[in-house]
Amino acid sequence: MKIKKGFELRKVCDENIIISHGVENINFTKVITLNDSAATLWNKVMGKDFTEDELVNILLDEYEVDKETAAKDIKALVASWKEAELIEL
């Protein structure tokens, strides 16, 4: 999977906000924010193909978390990114 072109992560007033570029990505009905760990993941995989396993490994390298918790959190994060149409398979 890959983050769709036209999305960018910006820090606005201490919030990690996803900004969209291009008419096809604009949805004025919601603002997408990421916590710091999700923002770290976003920045590590931006512009690259990635898998859930790679995201789990990034979490394990960056944070003190066990593999089971990391895998569960990544599954939820990827589901939310898919729902928000931020990634393509």
* Domain-wise residue ranges, the chain: 2-88
Q: What is the pLDDT of residue 31?
A: 77
Mean pLDDT of successive 10-residue stretches along the chain, which has 89 residues:
92 92 58 93 97 98 97 97 92
pTM of the model: 0.88
Q: Give me the count of residues in the chain.
A: 89
pLDDT at residue 52, rounded to an integer: 98
CATH top class, domain 2-88: mainly alpha
- Spatial separation of the C-alpha atoms in residues 28 and 40, rounded to whole Å: 25
Output the six-digit token pair for 68.
Answer: 């089971």
Backbone angles phi, psi at 66, to 5 degrees: -80, 160
